[in-house]
Chains A and B, each alone.
Chain A
Amino acid sequence: MIKAILIFNNHGKPRLSKFYQPYSEDTQQQIIRETFHLVSKRDENVCNFLEGLLIGESDNKLIYRHYATLYFVFCVDSSESELGILDLIQVFVETLDKCFENVCELDLIFHVDKVHNILAEMVMGGMVLETNMNEIVTQIDAQNKLEKSEAGLAEALACAVSAVKNMNLPEIPRNINIGDISIKVLNLPSFK
Chain B
Amino acid sequence: MMVPSLKLPDLIQEIRGAKTQAQEREVIQKECAYIRASFRDGDPLQRHRQLAKLLYVHMLGYPAHFGQMECLKLIASPRFTDKRVGYLGAMLLLDERHDAHLLITNSIKNDLSQGSQPVRGLALCTLSTMGSAEMCRNLATEVERLLLQESSSYVLKKAILTAVHMIRKDPELASIFLPPCSKLLHECHHGILLGTITLIMELCERSPVALRHFRKVVPQLVQILRTLVTTGCSTEHSISGVSDPFLQVKILHLLRILGRNHEESSETMNDLLAQVATNTDTSRNAGNAVLFETVLTIMDIHSAAGLRVLAVNILGRFLLNNDKNIRYVALTSLLRLVQSDHSAVQRHRPTVVECLQDTDASLSRRALELSLTLVNSSNVRTMTQELQTFLETCPIDLRADCASGILLAAERFAPTKRWHIDTILHVLTTAGAHVQDDAVANLTQLIGGAQELHAYSVRRLYTALAKDISQQPFVQVAAWCIGEYGDLLLEGSCEETEPPQVEEEEVLALLEKVLQSHMSLPATRGYAITALMKLSTRFQDNNRIRQVVSIYGSCVDVELQQRAVEYSTLFRKYDHMRAAILEKMPLVERGGPQVDEEAKESKEVPQLLEATVPDTAEPQATKLLDLLDLLDGMSRDSQHPVSLDSTPGNALVHPLDLPCATPPPASIPNLKVFEREGVQLNLSFTRPPGAPALLLVTVTTTNSSGGDVTHFICQAAVPKSFQLQLQAPSGDTVPAQGDLPITQIFRILNPNKAPLRLKLRLTYNHFGQEVQEIFEVNNLPVETWQ
- Using CB atoms and an 8 Å cutoff, list the residues of chain A in contact with chain B: 14, 16-18, 20, 22, 24-25, 29, 43, 45-51, 81-84, 86-88, 90-91, 109-110, 112-113, 116-117, 120, 124-132, 134-135, 139, 142-143, 146-147, 150-151, 154, 158
CA A81 to CA B201, docked complex, whole Å: 14
Q: Which residues of A contact B195 (CB under 8 A)?
A: 127, 129
Contact A143–B161 (Cβ < 8 Å):
no
Given A14-B60, A81-B253, 6 other A-B contacts at CB below 8 A? A25-B58, A46-B362, A83-B329, A112-B56, A125-B161, A154-B45
- A-B pairs with beta carbons under 8 A, tally: 157
Contact B285–A116 (Cβ < 8 Å):
no
Q: Which residues of B contact A116 (CB under 8 A)?
A: 88
Q: How far is the CB of B411 from chain A (nearest CB, A)?
A: 24
Known: A14-B59, A127-B164. A147 touches B237 (CB 8 A): no
Contact with A along B120-144 (1 / 0, CB 8 A): 0100110011100000000000000
CA A126 to CA B162, docked complex, whole Å: 10
Contact B128–A150 (Cβ < 8 Å):
no
Q: Which residues of B contact A112 (CB under 8 A)?
A: 55-56, 59
Contact B246–A84 (Cβ < 8 Å):
yes
- Tell me whether B565 is interfacial, beta carbon within 8 Å: no
CA A132 to CA B235, docked complex, whole Å: 10
List the 10 closest A-B pairs by CB distance, nearest first: A125-B128, A83-B289, A47-B324, A22-B95, A46-B360, A125-B165, A47-B328, A130-B191, A47-B325, A29-B61
Q: Which residues of A contact B198 (CB under 8 A)?
A: 127-128
Contact B362–A128 (Cβ < 8 Å):
no
Contact with A along B624-641 (1 / 0, CB 8 A): 000000000000000000
Q: How far is the CB of B97 from chain A (nearest CB, A)?
A: 6
- Tell me whether B357 is interfacial, beta carbon within 8 Å: no
Q: How far is the CB of A100 from chain B (nearest CB, A)?
A: 14
Contact A84–B249 (Cβ < 8 Å):
yes
Option from B55, B165, B237, B286 in Cβ contact (under 8 Å) with A113 = B55
Q: How far is the CB of A146 from chain B (nearest CB, A)?
A: 5
Whose C-beta in chain A lies nearest to the C-beta of B13? A110
Q: How far is the CB of B196 from chain A (nearest CB, A)?
A: 12
CA A69 to CA B10, docked complex, whole Å: 23
Contact B289–A46 (Cβ < 8 Å):
no
Q: Which residues of A contact B95 (CB under 8 A)?
A: 22
Contact B329–A25 (Cβ < 8 Å):
no
Q: How far is the CB of A75 from chain B (nearest CB, A)?
A: 15
Known: A82-B332, A125-B128, A127-B198. A49 touches B325 (CB 8 A): yes
Known: A47-B324, A143-B80, A143-B118. A125 touches B162 (CB 8 A): yes
Contact A20–B129 (Cβ < 8 Å):
yes
Contact A86–B325 (Cβ < 8 Å):
yes
Whose C-beta in chain B lies nearest to the C-beta of A154? B45
Contact A135–B328 (Cβ < 8 Å):
no
Whose C-beta in chain A lies nearest to the C-beta of B162? A125
Residues of B in contact, count (CB < 8 Å): 69
Whose C-beta in chain A lies nearest to the C-beta of B292? A83
Q: Which residues of B contact A43 (CB under 8 A)?
A: 359-360
Option from B85, B118, B246, B332 in Cβ contact (under 8 Å) with A87 = B246
Q: Which residues of A contact B262 (CB under 8 A)?
A: none
- Tell me whether B546 is interfacial, beta carbon within 8 Å: no
CA A143 to CA B362, docked complex, whole Å: 42
Q: Label chain B's interface by main secondary structure.
A: helix
A-B contact pairs, 10 of them (CB 8 A): A24-B97, A47-B324, A50-B362, A86-B285, A109-B16, A116-B88, A134-B236, A139-B118, A146-B118, A150-B81
CA A23 to CA B61, docked complex, whole Å: 13
Q: Which residues of A contact B244 (CB under 8 A)?
A: 131
CA A111 to CA B423, docked complex, whole Å: 60
- Tell me whether B502 is interfacial, beta carbon within 8 Å: no
Q: Which residues of B contact A18 (CB under 8 A)?
A: 91-92
Contact B194–A128 (Cβ < 8 Å):
yes
Contact A124–B161 (Cβ < 8 Å):
yes
CA A84 to CA B85, docked complex, whole Å: 30
Contact B84–A129 (Cβ < 8 Å):
no
Q: How far is the CB of B85 from chain A (nearest CB, A)?
A: 7
Q: How far is the CB of B317 from chain A (nearest CB, A)?
A: 15
Q: Which residues of B contact A29 (CB under 8 A)?
A: 61
Contact B55–A158 (Cβ < 8 Å):
no
Contact A127–B129 (Cβ < 8 Å):
no
Q: Which residues of A contact B92 (CB under 8 A)?
A: 18
Q: How far is the CB of A38 from chain B (nearest CB, A)?
A: 10
Q: Which residues of A contact B525 (CB under 8 A)?
A: none
- Tell me whether B365 is interfacial, beta carbon within 8 Å: yes
Option from A81, A90, A127, A132 in Cβ contact (under 8 Å) with B237 = A132
Known: A14-B59, A84-B289, A124-B161. A151 touches B81 (CB 8 A): yes
Q: Which residues of A contact B8 (CB under 8 A)?
A: 110, 113
CA A18 to CA B126, docked complex, whole Å: 12
CA A128 to CA B289, docked complex, whole Å: 15
Q: Which residues of B contact A117 (CB under 8 A)?
A: 84, 88
- Tell me whether B731 is interfacial, beta carbon within 8 Å: no
Q: How far is the CB of A110 from chain B (nearest CB, A)?
A: 5
Contact A84–B245 (Cβ < 8 Å):
yes
- Tell me whether B190 is interfacial, beta carbon within 8 Å: yes
Contact B362–A87 (Cβ < 8 Å):
no
Known: A25-B63, A154-B79. A125 touches B164 (CB 8 A): yes
Contact B239–A113 (Cβ < 8 Å):
no
Contact B246–A131 (Cβ < 8 Å):
yes
CA A46 to CA B366, docked complex, whole Å: 14
Q: Which residues of A contact B157 (CB under 8 A)?
A: 129-130
Q: How far is the CB of B327 from chain A (nearest CB, A)?
A: 7
Contact with A along B33-65 (1 / 0, CB 8 A): 000000000000100000010011011110100
CA A25 to CA B67, docked complex, whole Å: 14
Contact B96–A22 (Cβ < 8 Å):
yes
Contact B245–A87 (Cβ < 8 Å):
yes
CA A127 to CA B361, docked complex, whole Å: 29
